[in-house]
Homo-oligomer: A and B are copies of this chain.
């Protein structure tokens, strides 16, 4: 059975198609009785307006797109397993909450609230350019969570519709960049360590290869400089980036030369450091403070619970959607950016006492 169209409804209701259309979009222009009649027929005919036709006529789609790369290992498929159901062993707690999910949540929520549809897309290993262009044809604006394709594609898109890049800034494109404010977040963390705990010597554990992590280190250096405290010239340990992780930390420990605080590139590294130190008989925070960054779930119930700065991924997604909607399909003409503040989560690993959260208390 063919789907009912405006024509069908109009015919059975004894009116013109214009009236049917108006019934939906400008009800005030239609006499009550006619409107009711139309609605009644529409329901009887099971009429569902075609969005394609409406969008074509209007020149607007009413949908925003979120393009995200499939970067979480939990999500990935195993060889020969079509549905991604099987995972090697257990789910890795250290990856929750998944950034992509958080961003998606915020994006989605904002879109729904604004009455926009949400289109999700991503590369499936195949051609990212192709898929993002296809998406672009379906939406009024596009947010990219993780774009690994070429800049030129981006440039093309940014010319004809609003594009926002999330937590990623590949240069001076006419797009909106929405990212976490590492600067303020880590600054606050350092302030806390220095101000509240009187830390004199603070060292950084992390990679200088990953640009994100490198930035974190620089922010810390800068803040310590401002505070007039000793500034580390290099990470004291590369963390997982090293072939032998934490050997420098071990050396310091053996030499009884641990700093007051070890600020780590992220939570995962911080938890590993804490565990590693425990193995050496060093206690956190008693002997040394350790902090992370990101705000993964595991840091909430590790022992000690982890002091960290929390990435505002949900908020980032949310803002992206709002800003896109505001553009009403019009591209940005120059680079813009929004920094979203991170939240300092003060917990036990810096020496601040707080009740442990027991899993069993659920």
Contacts and interface: CB of A to CB of B under 8 A. Distances in A.
Interface of A: 1, 3, 43, 46, 48-56, 61, 63, 70, 75, 77, 82-85, 90-94, 96-98, 101, 104-106, 108-110, 112-113, 117-124, 131, 133-138, 156-157, 159-160, 268, 271-272, 274-275, 278, 297-298, 300-303, 312, 314-315, 318-319, 357-362
Given A120-B118, A134-B51, A135-B117, A271 B85 contact: no
List the 10 shortest-distance A-B pairs measured between CB atoms, nearest first: A275-B360, A94-B362, A52-B55, A51-B138, A51-B137, A83-B318, A52-B56, A112-B124, A118-B120, A85-B315
A93 B61 contact: no
A137 to B, nearest CB: 4
Contact of A138 (B117, B120, B131, B298): B117
A85 B312 contact: yes
A159 B97 contact: no
Given A51-B52, A85-B318, 14 more contacts: A46-B159, A52-B61, A83-B110, A83-B318, A84-B105, A84-B314, A85-B312, A91-B300, A112-B122, A112-B123, A112-B131, A113-B124, A275-B360, A298-B362
Contact of A357 (B48, B77, B90, B101): B90
A84 B97 contact: no
A40 B263 CA distance: 51
A313 to B, nearest CB: 10
Contact of A91 (B110, B133, B297): B297
A300 B359 CA distance: 10
Contacts of A160: 1, 3, 46, 48
